[in-house]
Amino acid sequence: MDFAQRVRDLPTLGIGVSTEYGAGDAEGALDPLALRARHPKYAGFLEVGVEIEKGLDRHAEAWAQTDAPCTYHFLDVNLDEPEDLDAPWLREVNRTVARLDPAWLCGDAGMWHFGRRDRGHMLLLPPVLTDDAVTAMAPGIEALREHTGKEVLPENPPGTVFVGDLHIVDFFDRLARRADTGWLLDCAHLAIYQRIHGHDPLEGLDRIDLDRVVELHVAGGAVDDVDGFSFVDDDHSPAVLDETWTIFEHLVSRAEQLRAVVFECERNSIDASRPGFARIERTLRGTPLAERLSP
């Protein structure tokens, strides 16, 4: 069965929030279950960042006990390195999948570690943007999908330096086609890439197969400067860049197979994050995702 058929069986999750090990214990951090209780439409699901060596923290475990929807966001696998998908790691991934029962797996398709995988490495560099790198990464997506029985959605990572001859949206469009899957398009990460290269925020989006975009991320970013080098820190604050909103607003009305939107604001309070959630909700009105959520 190809992706065009499989995507029809993916659930519609709506708006959700992300977490990772220890994020909920930070001072003033968002409590996903409290958000679900106070604003259920903003916590339709939880995207759980998982590093197998750390496991699930108490917040992820508490969410899992409610049987509310979630997704599994990997933080520890280089998809282009076959040795990363070793038997011990896959065994623990499958145990975590059984515990969470996620709608799908997703994660930044870049370099989570350099050299041997170690606990807490979480380097995260973008991939080399070439067709050879697409060819190397696609089998990893296919293998992980086969082992877990879940769709695996690669995500475009952030970065301050990118190398390769492909625009990042062309890279991920090719990767999704080559691995016959969908992808998670992070609007904040794309806004960073476009700014670095001096592109319009929407550059390249008219070239990709939007029917493969299953999930979108929105997150805040802070413009910083170090010794004259200006860059955007992908800080997951509630302060979302204008370019990120431009990309998000362009995509939600065009991505016919969109199933989920995550507002990444896990280390911020519910009150500070609420305006961002509200804007996402307003923007979704009348879109294919909203229509799919309607009773």
Task: Please report the pLDDT score of residue 229 as a whole number.
Answer: 79
Cα–Cα distances in angstroms (integers) from residue 31 to residues 22, 24, 185, 229, 290, in the given order? 11, 6, 25, 35, 25
- Domains, the chain, ordered by start: 3-293 (3.20.20.150)
Question: Which structure tokens are listed for 189?
Answer: 């990460």
* DSSP output for 160-228: S---SSS-HHHHHHHHHHHTT--EEEEHHHHHHHHHHTT--TTTTGGGS-GGGEEEEEEE--EEEEETT
Question: How much is the pTM?
Answer: 0.96
The amino acid at residue 93 is: V
Of 31-35, 158-162, 225-229, 246-250, least confident by mean pLDDT is: 225-229
Q: pLDDT tens for residues 1-16?
A: 999 999 999 999 999 9
Q: pLDDT tens for residues 227-266?
A: 887 877 788 899 999 999 999 999 999 999 999 999 999 9
Residues facing 49 on adjacent strands = 20, 73
Task: Please report the pLDDT score of residue 118 as a whole number.
Answer: 80
pLDDT band at residue 112 using 50, 70 and 90 as cut-offs: very high
Q: Would you give the distance in Å from CA 218 to the centre of its chain? A: 9
